[in-house]
Structure 1
Amino acid sequence: MRINLPTWLTLFRVALLPVMVMAFYWPFRGHNITAAIVFALAGITDWLDGYLARRLNLTSKFGAFLDPVADKLMVAVTLFMLVETHRGGWPGIVMAVTSAIIVGREISISALREWMAEIGMRATVRVAFLGKFKTVMQMLALIVLILQHEKDAEALRLYHIGEGLLVIAGILTIWSGLYYLRAAWPALHDDPIPVIEQDKNA
């Protein structure tokens, strides 16, 4: 199997995951800034590999499989780390509930796509702007929360901004998930399924 440039970038993104985790927990000076930079770099490679794949026509089956897996791994692991470090009180509750919504939606939609592929009726839905907006809000929220996860008094205001962005991302996550459910609903009633264009960031 020949691995092209976009797929190498995706593999690089996967390799950044343990680096981010170590930086997040290792108590060296500036570890939170390092972890935030690594996460932001992963986000940049997410955009870049998709851009290069479309621009240079370097798509592959392996890359199409690995890209969403890498994205979901990075987001899910980051959310788990943030929940673990923000226990108790309303901030912990907000973090846990929002994270559960985001991860739960990703699991549900992945299962829905797999089921529809098995029955040979792969319905997708056009949510290009909504998906991209959700992804931007989610990435910004996680970068801010990684940067300020220790919540010292001087950084508390910025931390609350990150919380707010994550809540917005959670709402958009539910909204975009409903599009997938609406597209798949006819299959649940044995009706013809419309095929609509999909955005991978949905």
Structure 2
Amino acid sequence: MLTLPNLLTLSRILAVPILVFLLWKPGWYDYAVTFVLYCLVGITDYFDGYLARAQGTVSRLGVFLDPIADKIMVAAVIVMLIARPPLQGAAPIIADWHLIPALVILLREIIVSGLREFLAGLRISVPVSQLAKWKTTLQLVALGALILSGAVPHWAWVHVVGLASLWAAAAITLLTGWDYLRVGLRHMD
């Protein structure tokens, strides 16, 4: 249980309350610290899986906790960004439109988690597709850029990159979510 990959995964889960605290009533400094912490957490996401495979220490706990850690972090950051300026536009109607990709991502995570649990009960495994990995990458870039845009608001291009990546991640989220749903529906007879 106390392998380095599992400790890295647990560190991601433990970092979530810190990220939420920093985003609660942020100033530019809080966004800067949050961005650094968010990047560190993202790096651990890569290394926990890499190290587990390289060292031959893939564990059931790691397989269980890794996607949970990802979903907790993404959901917490999205919720905090919805409540704070980085996901809001200059006018309220613009901010409202940017809620759509955030909600698509959150809802897909809930649906896919439920499907995976259902299929696991049937002993059916659904591997993560390459497209789902791209979705995760775009999602992480989007959230990181939106956090960073709070630290350096005069870099408008960072905010644009964050929003464009968020919309792209949401589009891929719909595609991968549909793929998971099709697999799940085939086994619901």
- How does the TM-score come out when normalised to structure 1? 0.83
Q: Is the 8 A contact 2:30 2:151 kept in 1?
A: no
Deviation at 1:5, TM superposition (A): 1.1
Write the mapping of 1:9-24 to structure 2, written as runs, cut at 5 A: 9-24=8-23
- Alpha carbons of 1:150 and 1:55: their partners in 2 closer, same or farther (altered >3 Å)? closer
Is 1:127 the counterpart of 2:129? The answer is yes
Q: Specify the SS of the correspondent of 2:126.
A: coil
Deviation at 1:158, TM superposition (A): 2.2
- Alpha carbons of 1:34 and 1:182: their partners in 2 closer, same or farther (altered >3 Å)? same
Q: Specify the SS of the correspondent of 2:187.
A: helix
Structure 2 match to 1:147: 148
Structure 2 match to 1:186: 186
Q: Is the 8 A contact 2:22 2:30 kept in 1?
A: yes
Q: Tell me, in whole angstroms, the C-alpha distance in 2 between the residues paired with 1:32 and 1:102.
A: 22
Q: Which runs of 5+ in 1 are unaligned?
A: 191-202
Write the mapping of 1:36-47 to structure 2, written as runs, cut at 5 A: 36-47=35-46
Moved segments of 4+, more than 4 Å? 26-29
Structure 2 match to 1:159: 159
Q: Specify the SS of the correspondent of 1:180.
A: helix
Structure 1 match to 2:109: 106
Q: Is the 8 A contact 2:28 2:152 kept in 1?
A: no
Structure 1 match to 2:170: 170
Q: Tell me, in whole angstroms, the C-alpha distance in 2 between the residues paired with 1:171 and 1:143.
A: 18
Higher helix share: 2
Q: Is the 8 A contact 2:16 2:73 kept in 1?
A: yes
Q: Specify the SS of the correspondent of 1:149.
A: helix
Q: Describe the superposition over 1:104-128 as per-residue Cα deviations: whole angstroms up to 9, x where unpaired.
A: 001001111111222x241415612
- Alpha carbons of 1:172 and 1:29: their partners in 2 closer, same or farther (altered >3 Å)? closer
Deviation at 1:40, TM superposition (A): 1.0
Deviating more after overlay: 44-53 vs 54-63: 54-63
Q: Which runs of 5+ in 2 are unaligned?
A: none
Q: Tell me, in whole angstroms, the C-alpha distance in 2 between the residues paired with 1:28 and 1:167.
A: 25
Q: Tell me, in whole angstroms, the C-alpha distance in 1 between the residues paired with 2:165 and 2:22.
A: 23
Q: Is the 8 A contact 1:23 1:32 kept in 2?
A: yes
Q: Tell me, in whole angstroms, the C-alpha distance in 1 between the residues paired with 2:184 and 2:53.
A: 27
Q: Tell me, in whole angstroms, the C-alpha distance in 2 between the residues paired with 1:28 and 1:150.
A: 7
**Would you say how many aligned residue pairs link Structure 1 and Structure 2?**
185
Q: Describe the superposition over 1:50-104 as per-residue Cα deviations: whole angstroms up to 9, x where unpaired.
A: 0011111111111111111111000000000010014562332133211111010
> RMSD of the alignment, in Å?
2.0
Q: Is the 8 A contact 2:28 2:151 kept in 1?
A: no
Q: Tell me, in whole angstroms, the C-alpha distance in 1 between the residues paired with 2:2 and 2:116.
A: 25
- Identical positions, percent: 34
- Alpha carbons of 1:64 and 1:157: their partners in 2 closer, same or farther (altered >3 Å)? same
Q: Is the 8 A contact 1:105 1:174 kept in 2?
A: yes
